[in-house]
Amino acid sequence: MNERALEGLDDRQREAASALRGPVCVLAGAGTGKTRVIIHRIAHGVDTGAYTPNRVMAVTFTTKAAGEMRGRLRALGIGGVAARTFHAAALSQLNFFWPTVAGDSAPAIVDNKVRLLAHAADGIGMSLDTATLRDVATQIEWRKITMRSIDAYAVARPGGVGRLSLQRVVDLQRAYEKLKDERRQLDFEDVLLACAGMLEAEPRVAAAVREQYRHFTVDEYQDVSPLQQHLLQLWLGERRDICVVGDASQTIYSFAGADASHLLEFGTRYPDARVVRLETSYRSEAPILDVANELMRDRPGALRLHPVRDAATDDVPRLSAYDDDVAEAHGVAVAVAAQIADGIDPQAIAVLYRSHAQSAELLRALADVQVPTTVLGGRRFFDMPEVRQAVLALRGASVAPLNGGFVDTVRDVLRSLGLTDDPPPAGGALRDAWEARRALLRLAEEAPDEMSLRVFTDDLMARAKDQHEPTLRTVTLATLHAAKGLEWDHVHLVGMSEGLLPISYATTFEQVDEERRLAYVGITRAARTLSLSWSRGNQGRMNRTPSRFLQEIGNRTLRAVDGSTSAGASTARRRSATTSRPPAQRR
């Protein structure tokens, strides 16, 4: 029983999962099984009696990742572990201790920072557009997560925001804080600040938290901000039972305060820390890893990834050049359609890009070749009206006697709501609704034979709470930031040109280095095939050059293809001129 959680781990994973005491640092490259190590390390600690489940806190950065942790721990028979985001953990502690400390309930949380900023601006006679308000909100967030006062912010960021002078930005921030206090509210960053302040000011609260949580694991540690690191230290106190897991090469949130030095200097803070390097990739085949390793060669903290399996083909990743963005989108769409025609499941394919603005042309091109798509970061699955309607209808059907088998009942309910045997054309709202209902039916078809409709709907509600969304059989479109932590068999990374990747406003060495890490994240999402592409311009401006990252990678690991000469490029440009409506409006 004590060895159960270690079964199936490789030597390095086993070493990390067996290190249950003292400071531990796991440097885990892309696809090396870091989440598996985290889960099995906690399970091994519980199995051996080293951990009591309710005294373990596993901290991560997204609600979805925390929900996945809880689900995977439950699958191993481990319940009671607090798997939460930093903000969820801090808010829970505030809500629990605030009545004792302050004598009343905790303040409410601001639901819309930009709207509150607009009210604050009105109060001091400033009329600002939404874009400017968003930029100021970003500055407020940066100030707080780097633990600066407004005066210290003015010294660190003296340039102002857009057309707003520094003094006006400072005035607006002071008005925002004043209005927030008057309304007795906390914003997202205040939750961490208030929790840290409470732990510093109230020794009995700090003692209670440290007594409750004795073993900490922090995932994605390279993304920890100064404020989060400060709060983590307060949670720990004098204890040293902490395990951090991360990859410096995947630090892509420096603009939001993430500081990889916390990961890279962990061994300096804890000279006796056990450091384990996970460099065997179970995701990507050798040719893809060659590209990734070349891109990050000699970068600080970079891991050298090694494949665990041979490549299915001898082809190196493909690099295509196109005349313009329309031709690039069409070329990628044709390639994706060909993959699907060859029998590849659409859900195994992703098209990744640097910014949301690049998605419009891709959506049009994919709709033109009848490829169903889902944009990652759009509406959450369980927030879709069609899904909410279906779950309520299934819940209602669960209280009546089944007229047939469980799966048949689910199918009948979904058909009554609009599910058909044949899908509508790709590229519209009707297809999105069809894919959502079909995903619910697929969950039912994959359920155990003994499943009841009541238990099935209970499971759907639990999934909604944990954001454990079913997989849609569609091609995924996503920004590189949104794609982090995910993987697909086949990845198309578009826009590999100067001005797009690296983005035009990345001018300093540090900013360009962050763009390189973004490219690395995109490349390492691919398991079997990788296609990179770039175009020479957009709307008649043919002045782009290939990304410097392509030059750094070199042609030894990439096979160049001139996409501008491919059949259909000129046709794609003519089509674009006559089908400029969004795909959702075309039938």
* Binding residue numbers for ATP: 28-35
Q: Are 531 and 335 in contact (CB under 8 A)?
A: yes
Q: Are 232 and 219 in contact (CB under 8 A)?
A: no
How many angstroms from the chain centroid is the CA of residue 314?
31
Tell me the β-bridge partners of 216: 57, 242
In terms of Cα–Cα distance, which of 365, 426, 341, 556 is closest to 351? 365
Q: Are 380 and 467 in contact (CB under 8 A)?
A: yes
CA gap 174, 221 in Å, rounded: 32
> What is the helix, strand, coil percentage profile of the chain, to 5?
50, 15, 35
3-state secondary structure (DSSP) of residue 250: helix
163 burial (CB, 10 Å; 0-12 / 13-18 / 19+) is exposed
Return the ∠ at Cα 426 (arms to 420 and 432), rounded to 5°: 65
* CA distance readout (Å), 197 to 45, 209, 224: 31, 14, 18
Q: Which two tokens stand for residue 408?
A: 């048949």
CA gap 458, 391 in Å, rounded: 10
Q: Which two tokens stand for residue 533?
A: 């592409």
CA gap 245, 35 in Å, rounded: 9
DSSP secondary structure code for residue 438 in this structure: H
In terms of Cα–Cα distance, which of 290, 220, 219 is closest to 250? 220
Its sign, for the CA torsion 152, 155, 161, 166, is: positive
Q: Please provide the size of the chain in residues.
A: 587
Q: Which two tokens stand for residue 404?
A: 């047939």
Within 10 Å of residue 269's Cβ, how many Cβ atoms? 11
**What b/e readout covers 151-160, taking b as 16+ CB neighbours within 10 angstroms?**
eebbeebeee
Identify how many contiguous H helices and E strands the chain contains and give both numbers.
Answer: 24, 17
CA gap 310, 353 in Å, rounded: 28
| Residue ranges of the binding site | 28-35
> Which stretches of 239-298 are DSSP H helices?
261-264, 266-269, 286-295
511 burial (CB, 10 Å; 0-12 / 13-18 / 19+) is middle
CA gap 427, 432 in Å, rounded: 8
DSSP secondary structure code for residue 244 in this structure: E
